[in-house]
Structures are given as structure tokens and as C-alpha cells.
Amino acid sequence: MRALWQEVEAQLAALSEALAVESSSAARLTLPESLEHGDLTINHALVWARAAGESPRELAECIRARLAQSLAGVEVSVAGPGFVNIRLCPEILTRLLQEALRSPTQWGAGAARQGQRVVVEYTQPNPFKAFHIGHLMSNTIGEAVSRIIEAQGAAVVRANYQGDVGPHVAKALWALLAFPEAYSVEHAEDLGKAYARGVRAYEENEGARRAIEAINVRLYALLEGEKPKDAREEELLELYRKGREASLRHFAALYQMLDTHFDVFFFESEAAPVGKRIVEEGLRSGVFEESEGAVVFRGERCNPPLHTRVFLTRQGTPTYEAKELGLVRLKQDRIGPFDENITTVAVEQESYGKLIACVVGLLWPELAGRYQFLTHGLLQLTTGKMSSRTGEVITGESLLSDLRRRALEKMEGRVPPERREEVATAVAVAAVRFAVLRQGRGKNIRFDPEASLSLTGDSGPYLQYTHARLVSLQERAQREGVLSEDEAQREVVLSDVLSSGGWWCALPAEAQVVARLAIRFPLVVDRAHEEMEPSILAQYLLALAGAVNRWYDTEPIVRPRQEETLPRLAVLAAARTSLARGLTLLGITPLEVM
């Protein structure tokens, strides 16, 4: 499909030269939403008409004639005000379906990033705070983006950066010290509560505020290797270590559930001293300057101008900004040279990200333009913004366990008992991930806890269910002896059937739609990558699944006669491959039973 796409583009480029019209980004080769408009569509005649001094229809006819002559296996027609539509003929559809059947694990893989090394940083939960649904969202987007980039041939280094030092930690530690009987430092849940209590005390109580600030400053010093001054400081350090461990254990369990993993972990505690040094050096070289006792970066030096931000506080502690610079160096040291860095952040940190990217470009010219921040929308509850500061959070864990419970209820009698837990987890994760990925990346998500628990409609579980149905059909065909049990042989048989000719016309219209959508997959993968937009893939999968289910409910797919069944199974296998690969790229497990 990519080859055809490139061929059409080359023809259009040649044509634009022949007609002496400027190439314009408005003139586009696209996948039409409705298959009535063909498999590929071209709007160039409409865009070029004015410059070429011809009517759109005439120009379209000219494009049609050229493409019809140079492309094999397609029908080209002019439609509407001047669109040129390309419709694939059975022989070319056959070839494309065979491609999907022959290398299902490579189906859709591209080469846009061949040989590149890309760092993707995402999730970023903070020890001593809850892993809330915002982290679930970051993980979902980061994991999908990582997989989409990998599918273009890059080696992706997954990075996670966690805030294990700073005022939030001091607040939690203060509460743990002040109310030792109320919280267990071994339990992640208690740590989140201790943090919320510390926040309240910090705001309401002058003494607590000073105590928390003191803890913060001392903790930085202790973590940089200073010896504890007394027994109280030893206790502080001990509590810190235990709490940090407990949080990280808790996060690791969640990652396993989410089918996500990280190649490198970075911590603010290690980035802080490095960042502080970088800022101090930068102060001498004139990148930073002093202002009101703090060390700041003047945002007006960036293009476009940005807000000035503090990098070192009056007390000399590094802010998040300084730590981020330390992180850049740690990445270079530990990961080695990379072609690009993509850090996912919520939109509320967009201007922060721009400032960091600007400073990084000044400090490390070789990274200019290659250290990027990818923003995603904010997760908002119907009642307003969610905040772990006030304790108003839905934790990732509680949401997933609620979803798991619902999934288990629906599985009665279908899934072997020993697989239910595993399947329920995959369904719960799919529900969350798809809810995030189906909409545009930059847009805020209105999170309705009640609705989010639903497993029906345009959802991850719906796609998994569709996939499971297809697998089940294939198994049935095997049980009835229509299809071989052996995977390799199966692929050869199905592929051969397509070569026999005449199979296409015997298919019902519903199956033809499925086939046409299935072979689009590689182009959809490309576009999702170019725009860093997983939702393009998500929307495509919904359309494909809809077509599959419509076919499924229209006529029997597995039939008594082998010569009727095999072509149907070939289309089905291609659809299943597209669905499975697409789900995998989104970080969702394609299930065989559910």
C-alpha cells in the first residue's frame, strides 16, 4: 500500500511540474472516510485549478488520464466538483492482503525512523504521592507513542523520571513523623494520605510550615551525602528510605498490570545536585542571572519570548526547572547519544516545556530542536480539577480494580477460570487506555468515573471482543477441518486461495469493505506517526471493527464448503492482523477469549 501511495505521489509531483503549478500543502493524497469515494482520493485538481487556469473538472480529467495510464490494477474516476478517486482492483487487493497474511508480526511496520535512537519519557509518578489517573493517562500516551515510533524502525529508550525529593516529600515525611501511629510507611496508600495531611498543615499552621521547610532543606543535604546530625535526622532518613521503597514497589506492580516497562529510571534526588551545578556554571557563563536572591532565566531571550522562571531558590535549593537540566545531563550520561527526546507533559506545563527546550538549546547546542515536550490534555472530573494535594484523587489502582470487577462479571462461562484474572486485567487496561487514546492528544478529557467503567460502545473492550470473535471463527474453521491447525501452513493456504482468481467477486459487499479497510493499516500507522497522534489509529480501529461486526452479523463466515470459506477466512485473517497490530501499538492486548 505504501508503494502505491508513493507511486501516486510521484506521478502527482511530475504532473505539477508539467503544469507549472506550485506544489501546495493543500493538495493532498488522502484515505477517504467513505469507501464510496474509492480507496485513495486526490483533491489536486481543485487546488490547482486557479493557478493552472483551467476548470477543476477538466484538470481532474487530465490527472485521471495520467494515473489510469501509469498505474496498474486500479480504476481511476473523476467525481464531485473535481476529485480524482482511485479504486483498487481485485488483483492489487489480492497482493496487499497476501502481504498482511505472510508477515503478520511485521504488518504495518515502516522505516521512517530506521536507525534512530529516541528517548521517550513518560508516566513520572512521584513517590510519597498517589499514582492517580493522570499518571495512567501519561503512561497511556507515552506507551502508545513509544510503540508507534518503534514501528517506524527506531530504538526507543523508555525513561521514567520520578520526584523523590522536594517539598512534597517533606510534607509527607512531616506527617509521618508527627503522627507515627496514624500511617504505615510500608503502605503506598498511607503515604498519599500523609502527603495530603502535610499539605493541609503547611497551609494552615505556621509552625508546621517552618518544620516542613526545614525537613526539605535537610533532606537535600542528607541525600547529597551529609551525615545525620542527630537521632532525629537518622529517623528521618530511615523513614524516607522506607517510604520511597514502598512507593516504588507499588508503582512497579502497576507497570506490570499495565504491560508497560522502563529501560531507565531517573530520580529528582540525583538530578538535583547535577542540575544545581549546571545552573551555577550557567550563572558564571551568563545564561542565568541573579534576581531577588534567586537564580533565574530570563524568558525574553527565547523566541518567542517566554516567562522568566526561577531555577535556584533563595535558600539555594534547585527548583523543578534546575532538576530538569540535571536530568538532561543524566540522560546523556546513562543513555548515550540520542537523536531525539520526547517528554510527555500535561498542557498546564506547556510553557514550562517550551522554556526548558529553549534553555537546553542554549546549554547544549547539539540538542537544539531535538529535546521536545509532547503535551497531552488535562484530566478533569465533572466536579473540577483533580488534585492529590487536597486528597481528591481517583487512584489508578482503584479505577483499574473497579473495571476488573466488571469485566469478571461479564466473563462467566466463557473464559476458563485459570485465565480470568489475566483477562480481566487486560480488559480493564484496554478500557482506560482506549478512553484516553480515542480522542485528540491535546484535548482535555472530561473524566466521568461512572461512564468510564462502561465496557460497551466505542471502547477498548469492544475492539478486544471483536478480535476474540475473529479468533474464535478461525478456531471453528480448524475444528471443522476447513483450515489447517498449523500456523505456517494456514498462512500459505489462505495466501494461495487469493491467487486463484474470482474469489473477490464471490465475497459479499460487507466482506469487501472489511478487506479494503484492513489493507489501509500501514498508511494509518504512518499518519499516526507523522502527527504523533495515536487517536488516528484508534479511530481507524473503530471503523474496522464496525465493518467486521456488520459482516459477522450479515452472513455466516465459516461454511460447509471449503471453497466458500477459505476466501472469507483470508479476509478475516487480514482484518484480525490489522486489529491485533493496531491494538498492540496502542498498548492494548488483543485477546483471544474474554
Partner RNA sequence: GCUCCCGUAGUUCAAUGGAUAGAACGCGGGCUUGCGGAGCCCGUAAUCCAGGUUCGAAUCCUGGCGGGAGCACCA
In the set 114, 303, 383, 456, which binds RNA (CB under 7 A)?
A: 456
SS3 content of the chain, % helix, strand, coil (to 5): 60, 10, 30
Residue ranges in 285-304 that form contacts with RNA under rule CB under 7 A = 291-294, 296
CA angle 9, 14, 19 (to 5 degrees): 120
In the set 37, 132, 250, 331, which binds RNA (CB under 7 A)?
A: 37
Q: Are 88 and 109 in contact (CB under 8 A)?
A: no
Kindly write down the DSSP assignment for every residue of 180-233, as one continuous string: TTT--TT-HHHHHHHHHHHHHHHHH-HHHHHHHHHHHHHHHHHHTTPPPSSHHH
Nearer to RNA, 278 or 296 (CB): 296
**DSSP character at residue 456:** S
Backbone φ and ψ for 69, nearest 5 degrees, come out as -75, -40
Contact flag: residue 484 with RNA (CB under 7 A): no
Contact flag: residue 422 with RNA (CB under 7 A): no
Residue ranges in 260-289 that form contacts with RNA under rule CB under 7 A = 268
Distance, CA of 487 to CA of 390 (rounded, Å): 55
Q: Edge-to-edge strands of the sheet including 379-381?
A: 384-385, 379-381, 445-447
- Cβ-Cβ contacts under 8 Å for 547 (sequence gap 6 or more): 510, 513, 514, 517, 575
Stretch that binds RNA, among 66-74, 254-262, 442-450, 494-502 (CB under 7 A): 442-450
In the set 242, 410, 564, 584, which binds RNA (CB under 7 A)?
A: 410
Kindly write down the DSSP assignment for every residue of 103-117, as one continuous string: -TTTTT---TTTT-E
In the set 128, 262, 352, 521, which binds RNA (CB under 7 A)?
A: 352
Nearer to RNA, 99 or 268 (CB): 268
Amino acid 499 reads S
Contact flag: residue 105 with RNA (CB under 7 A): no
- Cβ-Cβ contacts under 8 Å for 170 (sequence gap 6 or more): 198, 212, 213, 215, 216, 219
Measuring CA to CA, which residue among 99, 104, 31, 254 is closest to residue 590?
Answer: 104
Nearer to RNA, 151 or 477 (CB): 477
How many of the chain's residues bind RNA (CB under 7 A)?
A: 102
**Closest separation between CB of residue 191 and RNA, Å?**
15
Contact flag: residue 187 with RNA (CB under 7 A): no
Nearer to RNA, 217 or 264 (CB): 217
In the set 448, 485, 496, 563, which binds RNA (CB under 7 A)?
A: 448
**Closest separation between CB of residue 513 and RNA, Å?**
11
**Closest separation between CB of residue 7 and RNA, Å?**
18
Distance, CA of 257 to CA of 429 (rounded, Å): 8
Stretch that binds RNA, among 15-23, 33-41, 90-98, 184-192 (CB under 7 A): 33-41
Distance of alpha carbon 140 from its chain centroid, rounded? 5
Contact flag: residue 443 with RNA (CB under 7 A): yes
Contact flag: residue 381 with RNA (CB under 7 A): no
Contact flag: residue 210 with RNA (CB under 7 A): no
Distance, CA of 570 to CA of 13 (rounded, Å): 36
Backbone φ and ψ for 81, nearest 5 degrees, come out as -70, -10
**Closest separation between CB of residue 148 and RNA, Å?**
16
Contact flag: residue 421 with RNA (CB under 7 A): no
Residue ranges in 512-571 that form contacts with RNA under rule CB under 7 A = 527, 535-536, 539, 542, 545-546, 549-550, 552-558
Contact flag: residue 391 with RNA (CB under 7 A): no
Residue with cell 486557479: 50
In the set 4, 21, 85, 491, which binds RNA (CB under 7 A)?
A: 85
Nearer to RNA, 93 or 536 (CB): 536
Measuring CA to CA, which residue among 313, 543, 539 is closest to residue 438?
Answer: 539
Site string for RNA, 127-166 (x = CB under 7 A): ------------------------------------x--x
Nearer to RNA, 167 or 184 (CB): 167
Stretch that binds RNA, among 183-191, 233-241, 334-342, 438-446 (CB under 7 A): 438-446
**Closest separation between CB of residue 349 and RNA, Å?**
5
Distance, CA of 432 to CA of 444 (rounded, Å): 15
In the set 4, 8, 15, 47, which binds RNA (CB under 7 A)?
A: 47
